[in-house]
Structure 1
Amino acid sequence: MKWVNHEIVTGVIVYGATGDLLSTAFSMAGAIFPDKVEGRPGANYWSWRARHRGWSHWPVIYIAILAIMQLGFLPQGADVEKGVTFIAVGALLHIAEDALCGKVPFLFPWQKVGIKLFTVGSVTEYLFSMAAVIVTYIIHVQFMIK
């Protein structure tokens, strides 16, 4: 997915689930983290492309960070814990979103899984993102009323 769609879909999902703007902001930062650490394609596109959706898209890393934090091995404090948690949640959502338009690592970094519902940057991607926003809103409204 394009970064803008990662930001929107992840932000809406987290805000719909938590109603918390700080958690949403942290998750939106995490939503671009896996791509950001890979660097920009730049002049050497094919070198970058070979690395894209590699170790930075391996969900085990982010799950391990959450587990280590729960065990108390990372800095403590409500804001720090919220930041680490929702950056990891944003990264995990990014990986799940990428798995809808290609393959990403799963249990092992070399084992890639995914489906190709749409091509990155296509009209279908934007329609999917809009649908995700609408569905999240409907679910959020249903749970808020009850």
Structure 2
Amino acid sequence: MIYLITHSFPAAFIAALGSVFPDFVEFVFWGGYVPRYAHRKASHWPLPYLVLAALTFYYTANPFAFAMSWFSVGCLLHIAEDALTGKVPLLSPRRRSFGVRLFRTGSMPEMILAVILVALAIKTLFATHYRFTTMRLDALLHTTGLP
């Protein structure tokens, strides 16, 4: 989705890395098994990622700031998706207090939503590419005088 908005492969790639970070950091901290009581706590608190995004988006000409800004966006999108499948911290990193449970993680409704979003992304990507290719072809034909 980031690529569709930005048309920047580096931004999309870095955001994808950021999107797995909240769960990865828990996995590493707990040595491979995250106890249920510890999941979606401090690593899923959006405040640090919001601060990082706010501090770095102004300096995206700097490669490190560019990377950190899109990394934080990936983290925030992960947290937003997790808020659709349960609760995440909002005001305190110790308490899950924000979110709704529209479906369970790994359930069929979640898979259907993921397939729909990927299909829309692919459709948009191809439509954008096709429109760009068609515009370039039309411009080429116009400059050469061909009908």
TM range (shorter): 0.7 to 0.9
Pairwise CA RMSD of aligned residues? 2.7
Residues 15 and 50 of structure 1, relative CA distance in 2, 3 Å threshold: same
Contact 1:106 1:112 in 2 (8 A): yes
Going from structure 1 to structure 2, the CA distance change for 1:21 and 1:65 (only over 3 Å counts) comes to same
Deviation string, structure 1 residues 33-68 (Cα, Å, up to 9, x no partner): 0001111677855xx221110011111110111223
Whether the 8 Å CA contact 2:27–2:33 is kept in 1: the answer is no
Q: State the match for 1:52 in structure 2.
A: 39
Would you say 1:81 and 2:65 are equivalent positions? Answer: yes
TM-score of the pair, normalised by structure 2: 0.73
Structure-1 residue corresponding to 2:145: none
Partner of 2:14: 26
Match of 1:36 in 2: 24
Q: Which protein is richer in helix relative to its size?
A: 2
Asked if 2 retains the 8 angstrom alpha-carbon contact of 1:16 and 1:137, the reply is no
Identity over aligned pairs, percent? 33
Conservation of the 8 A alpha-carbon contact between 1:101 and 1:114:
yes
Structure 2, unpaired ranges of 5+: 132-147
With a CA cutoff of 8 Å and minimum separation of 6, indicate the structure with the bigger relative contact order: 1
Kindly name which structure, 1 or 2, has the bigger radius of gyration based on alpha carbons.
Answer: 2
Confirm or deny that 1:15 pairs with 2:3: yes
